[in-house]
A and B are shown apart, each in its own frame.
Chain A
Amino acid sequence: MNRVTIEVNGRVLAAEVAPRQHLGDFLREELLLTATHLGCEHGVCGACTVLIDGAPARSCIAFPAMLDGAKITTLEGLSDDPVTAELRAAFTAEHGLQCGFCTPGMLIMARDIVLRRPGADEEAIRHELAGNLCRCTGYVGIVRAVRAVAAARAGLPAEVTRGLPVPAPAYVSPLALPEAGALAPAGRAAPAAAPPSAPPPSVDEKSLETLKNPVRLEQRFTVPAGVGAVWDFFQRPEAVVACLPGARLVAPSDGTRFEAEMTVKLGPMQAAFRGAGTIAADAASYTGTLRGQGVDSRSASRVQAELVYRLEPAGVATAVHVDIAYALQGPLAQMSRGAIARDLAGRLTVAFAQNLAAALAGAGAPAAPAPLDGGGLLLAMVKDWLGRLFRRRG
């Protein structure tokens, strides 16, 4: 728990807050200021927008522990604000709300828009309001209402706030707020120990065939060992898994099924997938397939993957072809906006190939491939462009 002094709607409060509690929850749960609505809780929908030191901010991704000394203004705190009064009237006149869920965030944002950009036209208002979603899709009335207030303010000087306090309103809230020093500690329990990890899911072969829009990667590399030796290596699941950074078998494999665990890091994100899969191999054609699926029990993200390998004799060495297809579902996929994990998977595949080659050769890993980089300077084009530039200037 961290002790903070924070001003909410003109009243200075002292509070003990758990760092993980976000401002929206603090306002609603501790102070019963329920005008601030929580929609997506990850900074996308804008319903929870409040003023922090006078400037609009998402309360779901602001944390009171980080706001010691800040001044927070919620919609309740703008009851006496003349600009908000104009907006309320305009929202009424233009039918700027249906269910009302987005309205508090819309009003806070609209107030900032008409102050910062008096006279803003519809295009500018739509651009500025893009971060506030209306689930009734009633944007026409909302934009019209904001436009009416902005038009009435045309010619007035812009009032730009990036963190300057707005004057405290006389009216705060119908609810009694505790004064500084009086707020009892919120009494958050210590975080419980991590729950025991879920048992690995059973392999569902059917679901693997319906791998939807997988990300596909392929890797080709040559290892300085005979095809027989490489094939033998690929038949030892524990040896193959050891080549994949962050992965390990959680139980000995019988050669046809495996249970594994894999930890991956992507910037601040970390996931530990645990799952199971099957192994199929055809010695006649030197090909094999590993299929599996796993769950990161902490983020509830799921991954399905398929790895197909094929070995080809290349003189005294062996060419190894590895094709990987995978699909992510759940928060990790949501956060990664489709296939951003491709870069990570690509790097993992390269590392896998290097480790495999090193393990087989007993030698150093090959150098990392050069990063994709630009071509050379095309002097003729530069000259041509410079010529045009100076002709125009001359």
Chain B
Amino acid sequence: MKAAAFDYHRPATLAAALPLLAGGARPVSGAQSLGPMLNLRLARPAALVEVGRLPELRRVEERPEGVLYGAGITHAEFEDRAVPDPTGGILPAIAHGIAYRAVRNRGTLGGSLAHADPAADWPVTLTALGAIVHLTAPTRHREMPLRDFLRGAFDTALGEGEILAGVFVPRLSPQARWGYRKSCRKVGEFAEAMAAVLLDPPRGVARLVIGATEARHIVLEGLQTLDSVEAALAGAGLTEDPARARLFRTVVREALAAATGEGAHA
């Protein structure tokens, strides 16, 4: 349970970090997902480059239409409302449910999204919220919907030498409704099934995202019938095992009920 040898660089600026990343080093911020993989020797990077504390990745910019978060904002900063929140309390509530406080103190938003674990909270939540990721490479900057960025289990659209620098979360309307459920064996463990529902009629948004699929998230736009949800689950191979199918049906049903029920942000 000791990591294999690697080199470590801590550049002072993003401009200094990018050439190192282009040279094949892996970015690291809180190391709360990468650390276990290093210790288990499942990941053996030749070099790591610290990016989580770069000033460019620690910026937060509030705009009328939403908030642009630097990728280095920690889960605990969301949980404690130390950063502005355009979602009426959704982000702090989700952050509170991520792993444990000792992990939330160090783990970052950008690290979680770039790691792209299908059973993690931020990928499901922020896909449902319609977040946009900002990607930076030495010669270009591009933006894309998080939904397109996440391509599968641990697979993203990041190119060689490119890093996830920021995440834009759109501001919800006051009428927006939210439902979120995850099924975990134990508090703080990775979920076995999860679902997020966002209904925001003034902005024309009705979206259901199903996570912990061991593959790309299922994203259903528009209000759904139970049949269409069932077809999506079956299409993803999630109904073959009856126990597992039941978990997914339950989290979807409960998330939908929470979003369409009487409570504001359930």
Contact = CB atoms under 8 A, between A and B. Distances in A.
B43 A374 contact: no
A359 interface: no
Interface string A56-93: 11101111011010000000000000000000000000
Interface residues of A, number: 75
Contacts of B222: 374-378, 382
A52 B106 contact: yes
Interface stretch (B14-22, B95-103, B130-138, B247-255): B95-103
Nearest to B201: A386
Given A46-B102, A343-B216, A268 B37 contact: yes
Interface in B76-115: 76-77, 80, 82, 99-103, 105-106, 115
Nearest to A371: B216
A335 B37 contact: yes
Nearest to A393: B175
B216 A56 contact: no
A130 B105 contact: no
Contact of A19 (B8, B35, B105): B8
A271 B42 contact: yes
Given A57-B105, A335-B42, A20 B215 contact: no
A344 interface: yes
B203 interface: no
Nearest to A25: B2
B76 A162 contact: yes
Contact of A42 (B39, B175, B214, B223): B39
Interface in B140-189: 152-155, 175, 186-188
A42 B10 CA distance: 23
Contact of A162 (B105, B206, B224, B228): B105
A375 B228 contact: yes
B155 A42 contact: no
B76 A55 contact: yes
A268 B114 CA distance: 10
Interface string A16-32: 00111110010000000
Contact of B80 (A130, A162, A346): A162
A382 B26 CA distance: 45
Given A20-B2, A130-B100, A160-B80, A375 B224 contact: yes
Given A269-B43, A299-B41, A42 B1 contact: yes
B45 interface: yes
Nearest to B80: A160
Contacts of B196: none
Interface string A249-286: 00000000000000000111111000000000000000
Given A42-B1, A162-B74, A20 B38 contact: yes
A191 B101 CA distance: 34
Interface string B8-34: 101000000000000000101001101
Nearest to B156: A267
Contact of A131 (B7, B50, B99, B221): B99
B124 interface: no
Given A19-B8, A62-B35, A298-B44, A337 B215 contact: no
Contacts of A347: 152
A42 B102 contact: no
A314 to B, nearest CB: 24
B260 A385 contact: yes
A46 B100 contact: yes
A55 B35 CA distance: 18
Contact of B40 (A63, A335, A372, A377): A335
B31 A62 contact: yes
A162 to B, nearest CB: 5
10 contacts: A2-B8, A42-B40, A52-B105, A61-B36, A62-B35, A116-B101, A128-B100, A267-B115, A337-B119, A343-B216
Interface of A: 2, 18-22, 25, 40-44, 46, 49, 52, 55-58, 60-63, 65-66, 68, 109, 112-113, 116, 126-128, 130-132, 160, 162-163, 191, 266-271, 298-299, 331-332, 334-335, 337-344, 346-347, 371-378, 381-382, 385-386, 389
